[in-house]
Structures are given as structure tokens and as C-alpha cells.
């Protein structure tokens, strides 16, 4: 079980309270698909992913990026039980979608970059450490079914 300090809880809550979900979600998923093109294979039904511009302007990618961020809300609201919160999603991604669990980490890294760019100097080392801890717990929970 992960232990969260009140300061860490506050940092995570504040990050998500100030997010533009549509903008950040779209940018993070687009970045992941562009930087790590092998991740595109899971999005074949999303239409044109031919190049970076096509990915960045694809409404299906934007919508799914937003959906992913709203999915992280579940972890924010259940920080004491993130593994159980994502048990069904872990099964879905493992058994039905057959998503490589390493892709969760890649997307988490891209999300960190986008949020750091948005927050600027407010994304201090302490904020980054807390955000990385939060995402590591989420990634572990999503990959749990694979173990």
C-alpha cells in the first residue's frame, strides 16, 4: 500500500483541479503516438494517423486523451486504493485490448512533459516527484493484470 502525505495529496488534487482536460489529454496522447509510433497499433480504428499533423488534429485521439485524463480522476478520488480502482481497466487492457503494459509508462511520461510545460516554474522538483509517484502507482495498477 502506498502512503500519501497531506502535502502529496494536496499537490495531486491541485494539479488536477487546474487542468484543461481537453487540451492536456489530447496533447499527451498525441505526443505518445508521435514519439513512440509503435503505440499507434492500438488505435487503428481511430482514423488517419499517417503523420504528426494528422495525429494532432484527429478528433478521436483528442477525445480518447480527454477520456484518459478523466480516468485519472478516479485515482485522485481513491488515492488510498488505486489498485482496486483500476482492477477492471487492467483486465480490459490486458485481456481484451492486449495493450503492452509498457505503453502506460510511455503515456505517463508524455503526460508529465505536457503538464510540466503547462505549469512552468510551478512544476517544481517536489511537485514533479509527487506527480511521478502518483503516475507510478497508476501505471502499476493498470499493469497489475499482466503479472
pLDDT at 2 over 90: no
CA atoms within 13 A on the CB side of 111: 27
Model pTM?
Answer: 0.88
| Domains of the chain with bracketed CATH | 6-143 (1.10.490.10)
Q: What is the tens place of the pLDDT at every residue in 59-117? A: 999 999 999 899 888 889 888 877 766 656 555 545 555 556 777 899 999 999 999 99
Q: What is the tens place of the pLDDT at every residue in 12-42? A: 999 999 999 999 999 999 999 999 998 898 7
Mean pLDDT of all residues belonging to the chain: 87
What pLDDT score does 78 carry? 83
Cβ proximity of 124 and 79 under 8 Å: no
Amino acid at each position: 500500500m502506498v502512503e500519501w502525505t497531506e502535502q502529496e495529496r494536496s499537490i495531486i488534487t491541485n494539479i488536477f483541479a487546474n487542468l484543461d482536460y481537453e487540451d492536456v489529454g489530447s496533447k499527451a496522447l498525441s505526443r505518445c503516438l508521435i514519439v513512440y509510433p509503435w503505440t499507434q497499433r492500438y488505435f487503428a480504428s481511430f482514423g488517419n494517423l499517417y503523420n504528426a499533423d494528422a495525429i494532432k488534429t484527429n478528433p478521436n485521439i483528442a477525445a480518447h486523451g480527454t477520456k484518459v485524463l478523466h480516468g485519472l480522476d478516479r485515482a485522485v478520488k481513491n488515492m488510498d486504493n488505486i489498485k482496486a480502482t483500476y482492477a477492471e481497466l487492467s483486465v480490459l487492457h490486458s485481456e481484451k485490448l492486449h495493450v503492452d503494459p509498457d505503453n502506460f509508462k510511455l503515456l505517463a511520461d508524455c503526460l508529465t512533459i505536457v503538464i510540466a510545460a503547462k505549469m512552468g516554474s510551478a512544476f517544481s522538483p517536489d511537485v514533479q516527484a509527487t506527480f511521478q509517484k502518483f503516475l507510478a502507482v497508476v501505471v502499476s495498477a493498470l499493469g497489475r493484470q499482466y503479472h
